[in-house]
Chain A
Amino acid sequence: MSIRVDSETCTGCGKCRDVCPGSLLYEAPSGKTMSRFPRDCWGCTACVKECAFGAIKYFLGADLGGRGTTLHTRQDDEYIHWVFIKPSGGEEAITVRKKEANRY
Chain B
Amino acid sequence: MQLKLETLDTDILIIGGGTAGCFAAVTIAENSECTVIIAEKANIKRSGCLAAGVNALNAYIVEGQTPESYLEYVINDSEGLVREDLVYGLARNLNRVAHKLEGLGLIIQKDENGKYVSRGNRNIKINGENIKPLLAKAVEEKAHVRVLNRVNVIDYIVSNRKVIGAYGFSLDDDIFYVIRARAVICTTGGAAGLYRPNNPGFSRHKMWYCPFNTGAGYAMGIRAGAEMTTFEMRFIALRCKDTIAPTGTIAQGVWAPQVNSRGEEYDRKYGPPKTHIRIYSTVEENKRGSGPCFLKTAGINREDEAELFKAYLNMAPAQALKWMENGRGPAEENVEIEGTEPYIVGGHTASGYWVDTGRATTLAGLYAAGDVAGGSPQKYVTGCLAEGEIAALSALEYIKEQSFEELEELETMQKLEKVNRRLHGNPGIFTAEDMEEAMQKVMDEYAGGISSGYAVNSSRLALAEKYIDELLAGSADLRAADLHGLMHIYEVTDRLYVCKSLIKHLQARKETRWHSFQENIDYPGKDDDNWLKYVNSRFEDGEIKIVFRDLVKRDEVYEHKS
Cross-interface CB contact of A43 among B45, B117, B250, B317, cutoff 8 Å: B317
Q: Which residues in B have their C-beta under 8 angstroms from that of A67? A: 325
* A42 engages B212 (CB within 8 Å): yes
**B108 pairs with A101, CB closer than 8 A:** yes
Bitwise, B250-273 to A at CB < 8 A (1) or not (0) is: 101110000000000000000000
Residue B204 CB within 8 A of the other chain: yes
Stretch at the interface among B302-310, B364-372, B439-447: B302-310
Q: Mark B107-136, 1 if CB is under 8 A from A, else 0.
A: 111000000010100000111011000000
Which residues of B lie under 8 Å from residue A18 when comparing CB positions?
43, 45, 149
Q: In the complex the two chains form, what is the Cα distance from A101 to B111 in whole Å?
A: 12
Contact with A along B44-85 (1 / 0, CB 8 A): 011110011001100000000000000000000000000000
Which 5 pairs, one residue from A and one from B, show the smallest C-beta to C-beta distance? Answer: A104-B253, A101-B109, A44-B52, A46-B46, A44-B51
Query: What chain B residues lie within 8 Å of A23 (beta carbons)?
Result: 41-42, 150, 171, 484, 487
Q: 27 interchain pairs (CB within 8 A)?
A: A20-B42, A21-B42, A21-B212, A22-B212, A23-B41, A40-B205, A40-B211, A41-B205, A42-B205, A43-B52, A43-B206, A43-B318, A45-B52, A46-B45, A58-B321, A60-B321, A60-B325, A65-B242, A65-B322, A71-B320, A101-B107, A101-B125, A102-B127, A104-B119, A104-B252, A104-B253, A104-B307
In the complex, which residues 84-108 of chain B have their Cβ closer than 8 Å to any Cβ of chain A? 107-108
* A103 to B314 Cα, complex, angstroms: 11
Residues of chain A at the chain B interface (Cβ within 8 Å): 1-2, 18-23, 36, 38-46, 48-49, 58-67, 69, 71, 80, 82, 84, 92, 94, 96, 98-104
B46, A82: Cβ atoms under 8 Å?
A: no
1/0 contact string of B188-222 vs chain A (CB within 8 Å): 00000000000101111111001110000000000
Could you tell me if A102 and B310 are in contact, using CB atoms closer than 8 angstroms? yes
Interface size on B, residues (CB 8 A): 60
Within the assembled complex, what's the spacing in Å between the Cα atoms of A84 and B327?
12
The answer to whether B129 and A98 touch across the interface, beta carbons within 8 angstroms, is: yes
Q: How far is the CB of A96 from chain B (nearest CB, A)?
A: 5
Contact: B317 with A82, CB < 8 Å?
yes
Instruction: Name 12 extra pairs, CB < 8 A, besides A44-B51, A100-B127, A102-B126.
Output: A23-B42, A23-B171, A43-B206, A45-B317, A58-B317, A61-B199, A61-B206, A101-B108, A102-B56, A103-B311, A104-B249, A104-B307
In angstroms, Cα B43 to Cα A66, docked, is 29
CA gap between A80 and B306 in the complex, in Å: 15
Centre residue among A43, A46, A60, A102 by max chain B CB count within 10 A:
A102
Which residues from A are CB-within-8-Å of B536?
A: none
Asked whether B493 is an interface residue with its Cβ less than 8 Å from the other chain, the reply is no
Where the two chains meet, the residues of B that have a C-beta atom closer than 8 Å to any C-beta of A are 41-43, 45-48, 51-52, 55-56, 107-109, 117, 119, 125-127, 129-130, 149-150, 171, 199, 201-207, 210-212, 242-243, 249-250, 252-254, 306-311, 313-314, 317-318, 320-322, 324-326, 484, 487
Cβ A36 vs Cβ B484 within 8 A = yes
Cβ–Cβ contact B314 & A96, under 8 A: yes
Q: Assuming A21-B51, A99-B107, is B325 touching A42 (CB within 8 A)?
A: no
C-alpha spacing A96/B107, complex, angstroms: 13
Q: Name the A residues within 8 Å of B52 (CB-CB).
A: 42-46
Beta-carbon contact of A65 and B202 below 8 Å:
no
The reply to whether B125 and A102 form a contact with Cβ atoms under 8 Å apart is yes
Which residue of A36, A61, A66, A99 contacts B127 across the interface (Cβ within 8 Å)?
A99
Residue on A with the closest CB to B55?
Answer: A102
A21/B47 contact (C-beta < 8 A), A40-B205, A45-B317 known: yes
Structural contact, A69 and B325, CB atoms closer than 8 A: yes
- Which listed residue, B129, B310, B318, touches A94 by the CB 8 Å rule? B310
Q: How far in angstroms is the closest Cβ of chain A from B515?
A: 28
A42-B207, A64-B206, A94-B313 known; A21 vs B321 contact (CB < 8 Å): no
Contact of A39 among B43, B204, B314, B317 (CB under 8 A): B204
Question: Are A102 and B211 neighbours in the complex by a CB distance under 8 Å?
Answer: no
Also in contact, A22 and B42, with CB within 8 A (given A101-B127, A104-B311): yes
B317 touches A19 (CB 8 A): no
Contact status A63-B201, CB under 8 Å: yes
* A62–B51 alpha-carbon span in the complex (Å): 24
A99 partner residues in chain B, CB cutoff 8 A: 107, 127
Given contacts A42-B206, A44-B51, A58-B317, contact A19 B253 (CB under 8 A): no
